[in-house]
Amino acid sequence: MISYVIADVFADEALRGNPVAVFLDADDIPGERMQRIAREMNLSETTFVLRAERGGDARIRIFTPVTELPFAGHPTLGTAIVLGAGSGSDEMVLETGKGPVPVRFERGHGGVIREATMRQPIPTWEPYPHAEQLLAALGVGKSTTPVIAYRNGPRHVYVGMPDVDALSALRPDLGALGELEDIGANCFAGDGASWRLRMFAPAYGVAEDPATGSAAGPLALHLARCGLVPYGTRVEIGQGVEIGRASTMYARVVGSDSAVERIEVAGSAVVVARGEFLAAR
């Protein structure tokens, strides 16, 4: 038996945003069992909290229903908020498969965490070699920006849409998307500091994600690299509207085209359930 918490991440009220299940004190659970538990929970991600190994506050392992990820955004931020709620600290370092992720907390009345900001791994990027196949699977004639793949753990590919109405009208062929291995297909629209995002990832076991923190940082970088947003601008990214799980993320990239110094993604979370999992071991 092991305790777990479910938190709705990138939302400031329950039953919005992206839920994550956080299993506490999970050192004795084998990795194969973790994967089966994640499949049982059937959320886009489930995390398992373990003792730190490299000087952080805790180590986490992250699983989708079908695979383990070295890093993902909403489960990392959600786990930090769950752990930070009982710590009283203003900062925390979580060890992930992509290295340490520092998180700082902004607290309100009574020490309640109002917002958490994580410093994400800086991604690598390259032109996506199967752009035509991706656009066909999405039902999109062309992208308003170059179709670039960024990897900070998951591999996110970005397709620009002409406006939010066109973004909301998307009805992708999920079967065709599933044939494209190891990608989250991210379609976006907006302008200035306000953007909307939809992310389809059948290859990761997720048809459409309500809030993708690991995609928010690279999206902000993509916008800056394409000249759509100045470096240093904090952008607001809405997601999940079309599937009834509205979420809000904030992202900021510090640096320049020649030297990306820092990528930050911020948001809030609400704990919606606590329980005991009887078949953890």
Q: What is the pLDDT of residues 167-177, one digit of tens each?
A: 999 999 999 99
Q: Rounded to whole angstroms, how far apart are CA atoms 232 and 224?
A: 9
Summarised one tens digit per residue, pLDDT across range 24-70 is: 999 999 999 999 999 999 999 999 999 999 999 999 999 999 999 99
Burial bucket for residue 275 (CB in 10 Å: 0-12, 13-18, 19+):
exposed
pLDDT of res. 269: 98
Q: Rounded to whole angstroms, how far apart are CA atoms 77 and 103?
A: 8
- Residue 37's region, left for phi above 0, alpha for psi from -120 to 50, else beta, is alpha
Percent of the chain topping pLDDT 70? 100
Give mean pLDDT, residues 246-264: 98
Question: Domains plus CATH for the chain?
Answer: 2-118+268-277 (3.10.310.10), 124-267 (3.10.310.10)
Summarised one tens digit per residue, pLDDT across range 67-120 is: 999 999 999 999 999 999 988 899 999 999 999 999 999 999 999 999 999 999
- Residue 7's region, left for phi above 0, alpha for psi from -120 to 50, else beta, is beta
Active-site residue flag, 45: yes
User: Does the pLDDT of residue 205 top 90, yes or no?
Assistant: no
> Whats the size of the chain, residue-wise?
281
Exactly one of 13, 32, 40, 45 is catalytic; name it: 45
Measure Cα distances from 209 to 137, 231, 243, 258, 277 in Å. Answer: 17, 26, 9, 31, 25
CB 246 within 8 A of CB 16: yes
pLDDT of res. 127: 98
Give mean pLDDT, residues 134-152: 98
| DSSP E strands, 26-97 | 45-50, 58-63, 68-69, 91-96
Q: Rounded to whole angstroms, how far apart are CA atoms 232 and 209?
A: 26
pLDDT of res. 88: 84
Closest by CA position to 266, among listed 211, 206, 192: 211
Angle at 189 between CA 183 and CA 193, to 5 degrees: 110
What phi and psi values does residue 65 have, to the nearest 5 degrees? -65, -15
Q: Per the structure block, which two tokens stand in for 25?
A: 């004190």
